[in-house]
Amino acid sequence: MQLPVYLDYAASTPVDPAVAALMNDCLGRRALAANPAALGHAAGRAAQALVEKARAQVAALVNAQPAEIIFTSGATESDNLAVIGTAQFRETRGRHLVTALTEHKAVIESCRHLAARGWRITWLRPDADGLIAPAAVEAALEPDTVLVSLMHVNNETGVILDVGAIGAICRRHDVLLHVDAAQSAGREVIDVRAQQIDLLSLSAHKLYGPKGVGALFIDQERVRRVAPLLFGGGQERGLRPGTVATHQVAGMGEAFRLAAERLPDEAQHVRALRDRLWAGLQQLPGILLNGHVGQRSGHILNVSVAGVEGESLFYSLGGLCVASGSACTSLSNEASPVLRALGRPVALAQSSIRFSFGRASTAAEIDFAVGCVVQAVAHLRSFSPVSVAGG
């Protein structure tokens, strides 16, 4: 077993060897050095063919058409383009958005950007299990609502929202639905048609692809266009100008192709590891599961440990690569806003650990992690024996 044990797949995944091989081939072949927009010669057309192949592979994973996939630098840019771009393009129809307090910062900060410019934002609060009921979304809609933006699988708790039911509500009210699927693509079944999703944000590096590339699905019938945030050339239907990085896009396409092939088996694999981990950790007094016990994705387990100081606990787990919240907020010592929104007290929110696992994770690594946590908690409590009843 290689130490430290990597259990932070929700932050980023290792690049699959097949993906890395394809990307290396792209970088090493002189014939693919051309700009994929340079269609006047054979090298440019060869590069473009790779980009279009990848576009089709990404589309296939979510049942979209290739023309509906716009490549970006990642899910953060996709979230920004979906939220701000849709709002700006449709502002003559209304200036109201609905989102949740538990969204990724890319969505939250995009909404705050719009709020500072006169948009009204309704912030939904989940229940204690992290769920947002479709009825709560419907109740938040107003006559001038133009967009609902919600995460499919929460990046901290793994809780799954019923985006299909929410999509049906949005369609009835002629409101667009944007879904951040960075954590769910390739792990949960996504069908943008059946679930009535209008815009969908995707990330390569959450799914064994390279960092620095993502995509945004834009329904060509219902949305057609959003306002661009960047300006330059006419690449990606004029919505995302700049030279397309052939090797990165090709890597994302291959990663999504592999994910589509392996989804059922890998979903079963990570669920088994998650359940094994939780079974081992439950022996600890004062350990609490964060998020719904059943309605959650298999690759994330988030727990809080009462009776220990959060920072001390985190740094006692030197043999593990785990998270105390989302990666985008790891530089801050504040308690997780997601867990605070679920009603966890500050102390419990600060003593949370997010374990996330994936394709290469093993049962032996899970057992090692259980031992690390049990030993660390026992050690910390021996120095500061406090009640573990409420944290």
Residues designated catalytic: 328
Answer yes or no: are the C-beta atoms of 345 and 336 closer than 8 Å.
Answer: no
Measure the CA–CA gap between 306 and 389, rounded to whole angstroms.
7
Residues 6+ away with beta carbon under 8 Å from 261: none
Question: What does the DSSP 8-state code read for residue 119?
Answer: -
**Burial class for 318, CB neighbours closer than 10 Å (0-12, 13-18, 19+):** exposed
How many CB atoms within 10 Å of residue 322?
22
Measure the CA–CA gap between 67 and 56, rounded to whole angstroms.
8
Cis bond leading into 4, ω under 30°?
A: yes
**Burial class for 1, CB neighbours closer than 10 Å (0-12, 13-18, 19+):** exposed
Answer yes or no: are the C-beta atoms of 58 and 256 closer than 8 Å.
Answer: yes
How far is the CA of 63 from the CAs of 133, 165, 204, 384, in angstroms?
Answer: 25, 18, 17, 53
Cα angle at 246 between 243 and 251, to 5 degrees?
140
Answer yes or no: are the C-beta atoms of 53 and 22 closer than 8 Å.
Answer: no
Determine if residue 321 is left, alpha or beta; phi over 0 gives left, psi from -120 to 50 gives alpha, anything else beta: beta
How far is the CA of 38 from the CAs of 30, 65, 98, 239, 245, in angstroms?
Answer: 15, 24, 41, 18, 13
